[in-house]
Structure 1
Amino acid sequence: MELVMAAEELRTVVNRLRRAQGQIAGVIKMIEEGRDCEDVVTQLSAASRALDRAGFAIIATGLQQCLADGDMAASEDREVMRARLEKLFLSLA
């Protein structure tokens, strides 16, 4: 399944991933500095949410494309695609 994202969707996902990247770098620095455990976990949770939101946005775009794709006429193809998207979605849950 090839995923094509509109420029605005792509920009949003990339921004979320960059935010998560910065948060993870911050977590590493906090650990190296021996910062408070609660602060580290709070920052790690924020990074995890940013990654989850990026993943959900990508999956939602894939699902939208599958529903709109007229080439997926065979019910077997639809079922395979549905199973793949479900597996991806649940991997983020």
Structure 2
Amino acid sequence: MNHCEDQHMDKKMIPRTEEEIEKIVNRLKRIEGQVRGVQKMVEDNRYCIDILVQISAITAALNKVGLNLLERHVSHCVSKAIREGSGEESIRELMDVIKQFSK
């Protein structure tokens, strides 16, 4: 599935390159491994602080992925929308997702 495509399969999306997709997927796989590690820590009844430190690292990693996607969206999709005259809608959409992201 291409960038911005999930429900916006129209002319305002700019597809990600294969390299971009691969980098994101690899990061998410690493995060998935971290989550499995935390699950094992809980199953092994490890010290709470150790588990919380790992959860904090996972949260930071997910935030970094999200911020990278957000940055790419702004520099490609939003920029394109502004150049093509539909910037207000794109900026409104962007602000909605930023509010969701920052909860």
- For residue 61 of structure 1, the aligned residue among 72, 78, 98 is 72
TM-score normalised over the length of structure 2: 0.74
CA-to-aligned-CA distance 1:30-87 (integer Å, 9 cap, x gap): 111111001101111111111111111111111111344268533xx21111121122
When you count helix as a share of all residues, which structure comes out higher? 1
CA contact (8 A) 1:72 1:78 kept: yes
Distance 1:12 1:90, change over 3 A: farther
* Aligned pairs (5 A) from 1:2-41: 2-41=13-52
The 8 Å contact of residues 19 and 47 in structure 1, kept in 2 or not, is answered as: no
Q: In the TM superposition, what are the counterparts of 1:34-49 in structure 2 within 5 Å?
A: 34-49=45-60
Query: Which structure has the higher relative contact order (CA within 8 Å, separation 6+)?
Result: 1
Q: Which moved more, 1:83-92 or 1:15-24?
A: 83-92
Aligned residues: 91
CA RMSD of aligned residues (A): 2.1
Unmatched runs of 5 consecutive residues or more in structure 2: 1-7
